[in-house]
Amino acid sequence: MTPTTSRSIRRPILALARSIAVLVTASALLTGCGGEGERKFLDMGTAPAGGAFYPVGNALAEVLNVEKGDNDWIVTAQQTKGSQENIRRIDAGDLQLALANSAITYFAVRGEEGWDKEYPIRTVMTLAPNVAMFISKQDGGPQTITELKGKRVVVGPSGAGFEFFLKPLLEAHGVTYDDFTPSNNTQSAAVDELGDGAVDAAFLGGAVPTASITQACSTHDIHFIPFDAAAKAALLENYPFFHPATIKAEAYSDLEEDFEGLNVGSMHLITHADTDEDTIYQITKTIYKNAEAVQKKHAVGKAINPKVVVTDTGTEFHPGAIRFYKEIGIWPKDAAEDSPADKAPAGKDDAKKSAE
């Protein structure tokens, strides 16, 4: 073989080797899951624009990027369809972080209420409460949850997952979806339908005060349908994502006294059970230490405090988050760290049978 022939063979081989090296390097960067020192690209699922998840996710991502310190990550908030898509995409590896309603996650990690398996999701921190209730017109509308039977009722936007907390709430009051005519619509549209007489009641809520309820009170005389005391007590005992929430009378113009409501599933930040512990430790630490920066971008920053972030909603916390909360002394001493399946509350079997 002549020297010229040898060189002509080596050239394409060296070129191929260089191409492979470039591809391998690019792949490692894009995965964001490589070894120490590699930049991490973290995608955070939110929800459609117009709700709370989208601006909250953007606020968290911005703060994580600006205040990252020595952490070499780039966090990007992605608009999604909401909690259910976020949970599935975390499981598939398409998202590394996401916002979700804790009631929806509760059933996902247990593989119940329509979920096809037990999803390996963990909580990073609990955030803003979702304080919701049924409202109707004072004149002629249903006055109790039992009186929803035979009526037309807005039960949230289609595909939003309201059924995950509405179904047990209704069943505790002896009512099912089959007892009334459900209507799927946004909260703003629900107020319009209530005013037009197209529906008799609507389930509305979010952070207090909720814009849609304020809107309803400004245009109609609104009745806040109370929760039955025994039903409420059973919900609080059987489902850890339900929490009591008192709405002060001054929150809405049509409230004459404080309303004993329910947080029907807080917003929480979630991740995969197998996400690197150090990464989640640093994510948790960065958000918590920069709560004021988050609050400047969105009011959810008020919820980033010692009492709220460690609230148990029935989904196990990620070890990285637990490590940080223990380090700063806010992790509850009696908090369980076992699997969600081991933490099924009293009465859960009966609730599952009634759902089947």
Percent of the chain with pLDDT over 90: 77
* Cα angle value 254/261/148 (rounded, 5°): 75
Per-residue model confidence (pLDDT) at position 303: 95
pLDDT single digits (tens) 230-264? 999 999 999 999 999 999 999 999 999 999 999 99
Tokens of 199: 């529906």
The whole-chain average pLDDT of the chain stands at 87
The dotted CATH code for 131-263 is 3.40.190.10
Q: Which of 270, 274, 273, 330 is nearest to 126 (CA)?
A: 270
**Planar angle of CA 215, 216, 218, nearest 5 degrees:** 65
What CATH number has the domain spanning 40-127+267-355?
A: 3.40.190.10
Position 52 scores a pLDDT of 87
Strand residue runs (E) in the chain: 40-45, 73-78, 97-101, 121-126, 131-137, 152-154, 181-183, 201-206, 222-224, 243-247, 259-263, 267-272
**What digits encode the pLDDT tens for the residues 17-73?**
444 443 433 343 334 444 456 899 999 999 988 788 999 999 999 999 999 999 999
**Domain locations along the chain:** 40-127+267-355, 131-263
Helix (H, G, I), strand (E, B) or coil at 141: coil
Q: DSSP letters along 159-213, please?
A: TS-THHHHHHHHHHTT--GGGSEEE---HHHHHHHHHHTS-SEEEEEESSSPHHH
Residue with more model confidence, 16 or 138: 138
Q: What is the pLDDT of residues 259-275, one digit of tens each?
A: 999 999 999 999 999 99
Beta bridge partners of 160: none
Give the contacts of 28 (CB within 8 A, at least 6 positions apart): 34, 38
pTM of the model: 0.81
Angle of CA points 173, 191, 204, to nearest 5°: 40
pLDDT value of position 207: 84
**What's the confidence (pLDDT) of residue 22?**
38
64-67 CB contacts, 8 Å cutoff, 24+ apart: 64/283, 64/286, 64/287, 66/293, 67/286, 67/289, 67/290, 67/293
> Would you say the CATH fold of 131-263 matches that of 40-127+267-355?
yes
Q: Compute the half-sphere exposure of residue 201: CA atoms within 13 Å on the CB side of its CA.
A: 28
Cα-based angle 202, 205, 211 (whole degrees, multiple of 5): 100
CA gyration radius, the chain = 24
Question: What pLDDT shows up at residue 347?
Answer: 40
Give the model confidence (pLDDT) of 299-318 as tens digits: 999 999 999 999 999 999 99
